[in-house]
Structure 1
């Protein structure tokens, strides 16, 4: 039985808790949250003790689930690592690059499992493409959300775009050659809208747009590669592949198109998307990694790389804003 403690029982923390309490081989020992309102709501729903000391909760468990504000991630992770506890921490892994680098070093030195909560890796629409060869040369991403004060302690880059940064870094097997970015703060003190261009040494280019002040929600990613277009709708949980037909594509819907080089046959594939709970799946993989000594899904190094790119983007945005103000 894996004894686990949860840090932060706000909106997302409650979702994590609802999954953990019904999970096989898991015992939720307690939670830590400075908010009396959050604590009361948990007391009304579950018979789980509230700890008034973060260290006491860490000492009482085998593993911790950190769903607290990003600014608290590093201190909680460091304390848990030094006490030999396994860690699941929500994205972004840390608030700064220096904190992320320190955690990677501590994790490498400790005999623990450390998983970062990049939940879109477990989105059923993305999982449906696991058997397909993804080798994009151009990527177009739109992640739009309605304004919600929750999450505005960090920029839209660390709040929303980091989901797509992580997915792209997991797919494109190349290093970054150049980043250009622009963004603006509208409702908060940090950028709420941003557009980013990431260029890779293998020639792939990713164009990302994120906004948390949109009138509608959208979470779409499109891959363009040789002979194929792949679309993922993370919000509606749908995927599609449009490609030049091959002998293996018998049974798919096809369409003949006349081109300058002759007739081409297009095959359209809509992979089966199994409706699964992404949060439950990532937490189950964390549990299994501990109980069966298997690899975690998203490592501390993965978390560092996403934070690193996110901060490079923020640096570019701040530099662009400074230059524009100087030019006035």
Structure 2
């Protein structure tokens, strides 16, 4: 039985806790949370032991799930790794890139599993494309959220956009050539809305817009590649693929032919089946399996650092535009 300790049981931490309780092969040793009122409520509702400091909890479990504020991620990860504990940590994995580098060095010398919580990797709308070749040359992303004071300890880049940065880095097989960005702090001390252009060496361009001061929610990504347009709706869990192919080769719910300068082509519209999946449950389940069966983790420390590094490069660009 894998003994899990939760470090942080706020809004997201409680969601993690609920999922852990539904998984086989794990046992919740207890939790740490500095908020007395919140901790008392969790103790009463879930009948779990509260630890008054992280070190005490780390010592009596096999793995920790860190769902604390981002500024605390490094210190909690460091304690757990030094005690030989496996770590699942919510994105972004650390607050700064320097902390991220120190964490990677620590992990290179430790025999533990370390997974970063980039949950959109497990969104069923994205998983529906597992059999679709993705070679995008232009990507457009809109991730819009209504204002919520929770999460404003970091910028909208580290809070929201980092989800899309991670997805883009996972599908574009190229290094980055150039980043341009602009952003504005409206309701907090850090950017609340930002637009970013990422240019890759293979010619792919990604245009990302993230906002946490919008009137409506939106989490959409559109990918354009040779002979195909792919739309992913992370919020409504819908996926659409429009494909251009030779006549007779088109596959989909709806197909028709058009005349082009190079002859007839077939256009097909398909909606890959989107299975009902709880993304948080899936990522925690895979983390459990990586420990119990000694498998590679689903989202590695390198993946987490890549997304973190790009996010901070974006923040530097925005900060420079402020100072000019």
Structure 1 and Structure 2 fold alike (TM over 0.5): yes
Question: Structure 1 residue 251: deviation in Å?
Answer: 5.3
Whether the 8 Å CA contact 2:252–2:268 is kept in 1: the answer is no
Which residue number corresponds to residue 70 of structure 2?
70
Counterpart-to-counterpart distance in 2, 1:271 and 1:30:
41
Question: Structure 1 residue 258: deviation in Å?
Answer: 3.7
Cα shift readout 1:171-223 (whole Å, capped 9, x = no counterpart): 11110000000000000000000000000000000000000000000000000
SS of alignment partner, residue 174 of structure 2: coil
Question: Structure 1 residue 128: deviation in Å?
Answer: 0.4
Counterpart-to-counterpart distance in 2, 1:222 and 1:45:
42
Counterpart-to-counterpart distance in 2, 1:248 and 1:3:
52
Question: Structure 1 residue 45: deviation in Å?
Answer: 1.4
Which residue number corresponds to residue 145 of structure 2?
145
Whether the 8 Å CA contact 2:145–2:213 is kept in 1: the answer is yes
Which residue number corresponds to residue 57 of structure 1?
57
Alignment length (residue pairs): 323
Which residue number corresponds to residue 326 of structure 1?
none
Which residue number corresponds to residue 14 of structure 2?
14
Counterpart-to-counterpart distance in 2, 1:273 and 1:44:
37
Structure 1 runs of 4+ with >2 Å offset: 245-252, 255-264
Deviates more, 1:104-113 or 1:251-260: 251-260
Distance 1:176 1:251, change over 3 A: closer
SS of alignment partner, residue 265 of structure 2: strand
Question: Structure 1 residue 242: deviation in Å?
Answer: 0.3
Question: Structure 1 residue 257: deviation in Å?
Answer: 2.9
Give TM-score, length-normalised by structure 1: 0.97
Distance 1:190 1:69, change over 3 A: same
Q: CA RMSD in A?
A: 1.0
Give TM-score, length-normalised by structure 2: 0.98
Whether the 8 Å CA contact 2:252–2:270 is kept in 1: the answer is no
Pair 1:196 & 2:190 matched? no
Q: Could you list the runs of 5+ residues in structure 2 that have no partner in the other structure?
A: none
Question: Structure 1 residue 265: deviation in Å?
Answer: 1.5
Cα shift readout 1:96-152 (whole Å, capped 9, x = no counterpart): 000001111111110000000000000000000011100000000000000000000
Cα shift readout 1:245-266 (whole Å, capped 9, x = no counterpart): 3555345410223444444320
Counterpart-to-counterpart distance in 2, 1:127 and 1:317:
32
Which residue number corresponds to residue 113 of structure 1?
113
Which residue number corresponds to residue 125 of structure 1?
125
Cα shift readout 1:15-38 (whole Å, capped 9, x = no counterpart): 000010121000000000000121
SS of alignment partner, residue 21 of structure 1: helix
SS of alignment partner, residue 240 of structure 2: strand
Which residue number corresponds to residue 83 of structure 2?
83
Whether the 8 Å CA contact 1:245–1:254 is kept in 2: the answer is no
Which residue number corresponds to residue 254 of structure 2?
253
Question: Structure 1 residue 40: deviation in Å?
Answer: 1.9
Counterpart-to-counterpart distance in 1, 2:153 and 2:288:
29
Q: Could you list the runs of 5+ residues in structure 1 that have no partner in the other structure?
A: 324-328
Which residue number corresponds to residue 293 of structure 2?
292
SS of alignment partner, residue 51 of structure 2: coil
Cα shift readout 1:37-76 (whole Å, capped 9, x = no counterpart): 2112212211100000110000000000000000000000
Once the two structures are superposed, the pairs formed by residues 259-298 of structure 1 within 5 Å of their partners are: 259-298=260-299
